[in-house]
Amino acid sequence: MSKSSEAVAACRRQIEAQLDKVRSLNASEAPIDAVSSEVAALQTLSAQLGELSLSKKGGQKGKITLKTPKGTRDWEPLSMSLRKHVFSTIERVFSTHGAVTIDTPVFELKEILAGKYGEDSKLIYDLQDQGGELCSLRYDLTVPFARFVAMNPTEYGNIKRYHIAKVYRRDQPAMTKGRFREFYQCDFDIAGTYDAMVPDAECLCVLVETLDALDIGAFTIKLNHRKLLDAIFAVCGVPDDKIRTISSAVDKLDKSPWDEVKHEMVAEKGLPADVADRIGTYVLQRGSRELIAKLREDAALMQNNKAVEGLADMELLFQYLDVYGVVDRVSFDLSLARGLDYYTGVIYEAITALSAPPTKEGAPAQRKTKDNGELDESTVGVGSIAAGGRYDHLVGMFCGAKRPDAVPCVGVSIGVERVFSILLQRLQEAQARGERTSVRQKEVDVYVMSMGDGLLLERMQVCKMLWDAGIKAEFLYKKKPKLQQQFAVVDKEQIPLAVLLAPGEWANGTVRVKQQLGKDEAGDDKGTEVPLTELATFVQSKLSPSS
């Protein structure tokens, strides 16, 4: 028996012993902690067995699969430049509104996330139990924010904060549409007790300003109110325990026609057909401020307190949106329901033309799954590009039963990956047309070159002089580089200025500065001879936009 076979056999024996241990603990109804820590030990053994068996196979190098995990991607330099542009635009708007930023860990204690996401809890990534606390990767930024506020109620019970960070969901990815398992969220939230709808209106104002600043093209913000929606369901005769599931069905009206949604309510969720029909008379309505007046004429609806409260909120909200000049950017849409459980007031969602699935012969394509179980991305839209709403009880869930609305909150989350996929496509199209774009992969301004004899130490000296002046500069890391090879870099990287070192000029204390872009400028063919002592100033003047 070979050494590695022996090791495998030994490991299998250890597994067997460990199985016995778990069995006896389980049979004797030992405390759960004891059982689960022994199961964890078993898992470790199983992992060891896996590694032994890999090394037994010969341990050949180069057999590793070179890929990122499913649903994740690398961000190469051009994408990163665009991402930085997108984030700084968003941060500028958020901080103009006085928001501060916080950060929380990528993983939270598992119990913090438990019971917050309804059916979607199955999409949470757990960390392996390696001894110590049980943790999960964050699913969104809202629950960690609520946990943060609940932990620091005195200092941060009133806070306007933004948070731009990655979140994790074990969902079916659609990579080309900006749907990943690891993705960024950009959240802006206002926590604290204030007069009705004032922070809510500002969130919508921030949303409009952000999407305008990102220049993603036309968009609409759908607007609704959870209290109003719940009142409609109650008035139509939906039993209390079915409200959330019927609400989910209604939320599909952006992707599916009414007939299908009704079928789901009646056939799958057991709602009487006449109740579904009554729901239909409400949720197919949309409009603007005038819809408030229309609903107020509905005597049955106005018997319901929640409807009265919801409509009062909407009335105020429209008044404030009018002052902010953004009323024409929103649509009061009774079909908007939003999936998450924790919303308690106004809800909203921004969509663009790309939000819907591509249409075939006029009708939206049904989302399809390919033979291998993967999504067919050509049948998927990018979905909403931003969403949010009021959630008055989430912080309270962390504060104990006595304080359910300890810190009311309202916020908006920008679906930045979807925004990004729209902008990247546009950038790549512009580059394919040969246009010079403001977002570049690399931002070097000066390339320091040798015209002969290497001059390595001299090139280093010139670069250091430029770096110290804050000028972005590079040189080729060769002792004796060819002139052609150096110019090839300048062309490929679109570097605007070349500084040329020649032995004769160097001896006189001068170098030559040559403008590479806009070569047709008169008299710039051979560049300008500049004393070394004046180089940084000269280069800065050439690079400043006014020159």
User: Residues 148 to 177: which contact a second copy by CB under 8 A?
Assistant: 148, 150-152, 155-156, 159-161, 166, 168, 170
Helix or strand run (H / E) with residue 298: none
Kindly state the smallest distance separating residue 77's Cβ from a second copy, in Å.
4
Contact status, residue 343 vs residue 389, Cβ threshold 8 Å:
yes
Residue 213: what residue type? Answer: A
Among candidates 540, 534, 482, 480, which has minimal Cα distance to 510? 534
For position 431 contacting a second copy by CB under 8 A, the verdict is: no
The residue to which tokens 């600043």 are assigned: 213
CA distance 479 to 537: 27
User: 179: which strand partners?
Assistant: 174
Kindly state the smallest distance separating residue 239's Cβ from a second copy, in Å.
21
Tell me if 23 is assigned to a ligand binding site: no
CA distance 482 to 189: 56
Residue 421: what residue type? Answer: S
Tell me if 343 is assigned to a ligand binding site: yes
CA distance 157 to 146: 10
Exactly one of 283, 474, 490, 497 binds a second copy (CB under 8 A); which one? 474
Q: Which is nearer to a second copy, 263 or 440 (CB)?
A: 440
Among candidates 46, 47, 40, which has minimal Cα distance to 133? 40
Q: Phi and psi dihedrals of 415, rounded to 5?
A: -80, 80
Kindly state the smallest distance separating residue 543's Cβ from a second copy, in Å.
13
Kindly state the smallest distance separating residue 354's Cβ from a second copy, in Å.
24
Task: Report 340-399 residues binding a second copy (CB under 8 A).
Answer: 397-399
For position 319 contacting a second copy by CB under 8 A, the verdict is: yes
Helix/strand/coil for 99: coil
Tell me if 468 is assigned to a ligand binding site: no
Q: Which is nearer to a second copy, 190 or 334 (CB)?
A: 190
Q: Max Cα separation, the chain?
A: 95
> What CA–CA distances, in Å, run from 252 to 256, 258, 287, 369?
6, 9, 19, 18
CA distance 297 to 285: 14
The token pair that represents 283 in the structure block: 């949720």
For position 529 contacting a second copy by CB under 8 A, the verdict is: no
For position 494 contacting a second copy by CB under 8 A, the verdict is: no
CA distance 111 to 133: 10
Helix/strand/coil for 138: coil
Task: Report 241-260 residues binding a second copy (CB under 8 A).
Answer: none
CA distance 34 to 44: 16
For position 58 contacting a second copy by CB under 8 A, the verdict is: no
Exactly one of 6, 10, 95, 257 binds a second copy (CB under 8 A); which one? 95
Exactly one of 10, 19, 273, 353 binds a second copy (CB under 8 A); which one? 19
Helix or strand run (H / E) with residue 14: helix 3-27
Among candidates 382, 537, 545, which has minimal Cα distance to 470? 537
Tell me if 189 is assigned to a ligand binding site: yes
CA distance 352 to 219: 5
Kindly state the smallest distance separating residue 546's Cβ from a second copy, in Å.
18
Q: Which is nearer to a second copy, 320 or 391 (CB)?
A: 320
For a second copy, which stretch binds (CB under 8 A), given 195-203, 353-361, 412-420, 499-507? 195-203
Exactly one of 6, 10, 119, 198 binds a second copy (CB under 8 A); which one? 198
| Contact flags string 116-135 toward a second copy, x per CB under 8 A | ---------xxxxxx-xx-x
The residue to which tokens 């990102």 are assigned: 214
For a second copy, which stretch binds (CB under 8 A), given 263-271, 320-328, 421-429, 535-543? 320-328
Tell me if 200 is assigned to a ligand binding site: no
Determine the size of the site formed for a second copy (CB under 8 A): 125
Tell me if 525 is assigned to a ligand binding site: no
Tell me if 140 is assigned to a ligand binding site: yes
Q: Which is nearer to a second copy, 43 or 220 (CB)?
A: 43
For position 76 contacting a second copy by CB under 8 A, the verdict is: yes
For position 1 contacting a second copy by CB under 8 A, the verdict is: no
Q: Which is nearer to a second copy, 146 or 275 (CB)?
A: 146
CA distance 81 to 387: 25
Strands 107-109 and 359-360: unpaired
CA distance 478 to 455: 10
Residue 329: what residue type? Answer: R
Exactly one of 58, 98, 362, 373 binds a second copy (CB under 8 A); which one? 98
For a second copy, which stretch binds (CB under 8 A), given 49-57, 269-277, 365-373, 537-545? 49-57
Q: Which is nearer to a second copy, 370 or 442 (CB)?
A: 442
Exactly one of 10, 273, 460, 483 binds a second copy (CB under 8 A); which one? 460
Tell me if 366 is assigned to a ligand binding site: no
Give the residue numbers of the binding site. Answer: 140-142, 169, 185, 189, 338, 342-343
Give the residue numbers of the binding site for L-histidine. Answer: 140-142, 169, 185, 189, 338, 342-343
